[in-house]
Each structure stands twice: as structure tokens, then as C-alpha cells.
Amino acid sequence: MRFKLNTLIGASALALLVSGCAAPTAQSTASAPAPAVAVAAAPAVAPASVQPAATLPHVVVLATGGTIAGAGASAANSATYAAAKVPVDKLLAGLPELGSVARVSGEQVFQIASESFTNDNLLTLARRVSELAKQPGVDGIVVTHGTDTLEETGFFLNLVVHTNKPIVMVGSMRPGTALSADGALNLFDAVSVAASKDAMSKGVLVTMNDEIQTARDVSKLVNIKTEAFKSQWGPLGMVVEGKNYWFRAPVKRHTAWSEFNIDNISTLPPVEIVYSYGNVPPTAIQALGQSGVKAIVHAGTGNGSVPNRIVPELQKLRAQGVQIIRSSRVPAGFVLRNAEQPDDKYDWVVAHDLNPQKARLLAAVALATTNDSRELQRIFWDY
């Protein structure tokens, strides 16, 4: 019994030692300090496959910055840190387990916090992804990215990169220096999914918090938890210990199925968003109208409602050739055509279930090919 009791105390002492907060137990205060013990190394990650390394799929990691490359002053800093500090080679070197699922190479495309992304950043990144996807020696691509605009970049790539190869977006909510950092497992999952044949032809994916989401549907709905990314239509599946578990597949057009191609897009026309709320003045809409926008996305209340004092302002711009797209500030549901507003009569477009920031990107890509509002509405139904 004693042996067993000692064993239990030993185990709890080891656990406390490992956790760095060992408190003296009866034995350690009465006798010599508990002997230092070698903490068993974490069990090697079960390789997703027993393939020889040279035959594993080749995954390219394109790093752009964000928290997954962030660093805080102490392990207790899970939310206060500097984003976009750790270079891609250090990120990959810190995760040797990647070698069990893929042959990985890395490129530092940018080193920025994602709230600072511009249209030019999107075009540069999409061109590099497209170039790599065309290379026979590349089996999958991972993009490490800040979480703030990860959904926008992922949706944009989903629209314009013509490939069936897996493209996986990944970020983290905590820097790698923090207790219970989420970036390492998120990155391992992303590379594992990007190396998987069963992830092909599913459009651009996002791996966060063990889930596999589609870039089209997912958005950052919580700004300070690791379970930050949600889709109202649910994840496509989960990835656990290097294995994918799929439960649904996308139905909207994407990647190789898209009519849009980054190879034919040199610039994105100006499309901006106005946010609606009680007492909103027409100032922003008027200023945007004078700035030469090609479309305005109206982030309306409820089902895309527009205040009665704002309707004539939007009609004025429509008459000048500016496209008007009704989205909603409400994160779930979808905007119904001709419900809150007579869209047929006003010749407006509805964004369906796309949030304002994604509606902006689809409108910008579509306006590079058409300015016909009925064609624009067809595009919003299809993507």
C-alpha cells in the first residue's frame, strides 16, 4: 500500500514539478528534496502515414504574419503581444512533427498583421499561390495569416485560384510564447490537411481549433478565444492527429470551378462598405459616391434593412452607375431579395449569406468582368 501511496505522491510531485508549481509534499519537507526526475518526452506524433519521408507530399507554407508569428513578453501574455515577428523558417523549425505528414518548405510572402492587408497584398499572395499550385512538385499549400482578415483572404483565394489542390489558411489566437498556445497544433493540422488527397477539390479551407472550415463560410466571430472561427452552416469536418473526418462538402462555386482567375485580374475596382445603425447620417455614402466607388456594400440592420433617409442616397448613386449591394451587420441568416427593400424596383443586388467584408471582395472580383446588376446577382447566388 505504502509503495502505491508513494507512487501516487511521486506522480503528483512529478506533475507539479513539470507544471513548475511544485508544492512541498510530506515526504519532500521531511526528507531530502524530491529527486529531480526526467520528464518523459512527449510521445512521438503518430505519423499520419508510414511513408518514407522522401515520398511524403510536398506542402509549401506561405507566411504572411499575424499572431501565429507573434511573440509576447511572457507566457502569461495570451492576448497582449506583438504580431508578425517570427519568420517562417523558425515557425517550421519549431514544429519537427511536420516531417511525419509532409515534406515542408516555407516562403515569407509578407510579415504583417492582417488588419493591414490591402488589395495589393491579396493580389500578390493569390498570384504566388496560383504559381505554386501549377507546379507538379507541389501537392498542397498552407497560408499562415493573421486571424483578423483571414476569412477575407481565404474567400478571395477561393474565388480566383484555379486549382483542385488543397489550399489551407491557418492562424492562431495566441502567440507561440503563451501558455496553451494554439498555433503549433493549428499549423500541424493545416499542413496535414494540405497534404491530404481527400482535401482536394473542396475549395480553400481553414483549420483552426481542430475544425476544418470552408473559407467561404467561416468568419472570426469571437475576438479573444481560441474557438474564434465559426460558420453558421458548420465546419466541413475535423482533423484529429493528422487524420481528416469529413461530414459535408461545399456547394458554392470555388477554385477550379470558378469563372474568375487571378491570372486575368490586374487590379480590383474600388468597392467599399457602409455600416448602418440608428441615426446613421448619409455622410459616408455621399463621400464614397464622390470618391468614385464602383459599388457600395450596405451593411444593413436586420435582414439588410436601409433607413428611409438613406434609400434616396443609394438610389442617387445607382442612377450614376454605382452598384448597390445589400448585406447585413447580423452575422447569421441571409438577406432575402425584395423583402426589406424592393430590390427589383431599385435595381439593387443582395449579398445572400455573405457578410459585408466578403460581399466586398466578390463584388470587386465580379466587377472586373461585368457591371450588369442581374449578372452580379447571379454571381452572388453562385459563389
Binding-site ranges for ligand DGL (CB under 6 A) = 66-67, 83, 113-115, 146-148, 171-173
| Separation CA 273–CA 299 (nearest Å) | 7
Q: Which is nearer to ligand DGL, 176 or 250 (CB)?
A: 176
Minimum separation from the CB atom of position 67 to ligand DGL (A): 3
- What are the angstrom distances between the C-alpha of 376 and each of 216, 227, 372, 381? 18, 34, 6, 9
Q: Which is nearer to ligand DGL, 147 or 377 (CB)?
A: 147
Helix, strand, or coil (residue 240) = strand
Residue pair 48/242 in contact (Cβ under 8 Å)? The answer is yes
Q: Which is nearer to ligand DGL, 115 or 227 (CB)?
A: 115
Closest chain position to ligand DGL (CB): 146
Minimum separation from the CB atom of position 148 to ligand DGL (A): 3
Alpha helices in the chain (DSSP H): 2-19, 26-30, 88-93, 119-133, 150-160, 183-194, 283-291, 311-319, 343-346, 356-367, 373-382
Minimum separation from the CB atom of position 204 to ligand DGL (A): 17
Q: Which is nearer to ligand DGL, 172 or 177 (CB)?
A: 172
Q: Given 67, 149, 177, 214, which residue is catalytic?
A: 67
Q: Is 118 a catalytic residue?
A: no
| Separation CA 107–CA 61 (nearest Å) | 6
Q: Which is nearer to ligand DGL, 7 or 223 (CB)?
A: 223
Cα 244 from chain centroid? 18
Q: Which is nearer to ligand DGL, 106 or 146 (CB)?
A: 146
Strands 211-214 and 205-208: antiparallel
Residue pair 364/160 in contact (Cβ under 8 Å)? The answer is no
In sequence order, what are the beta bridge partners of 297? Answer: 273, 325
Minimum separation from the CB atom of position 222 to ligand DGL (A): 11
How many CA atoms does the CB half-sphere of 303 hold within 13 Å?
Answer: 10
Backbone angles phi, psi at 135, to 5 degrees: -80, 125
Minimum separation from the CB atom of position 164 to ligand DGL (A): 28
Using alpha carbons, select from 283, 334, 327, 286 the residue that is nearest to residue 305. 327
List the catalytic residues. 67
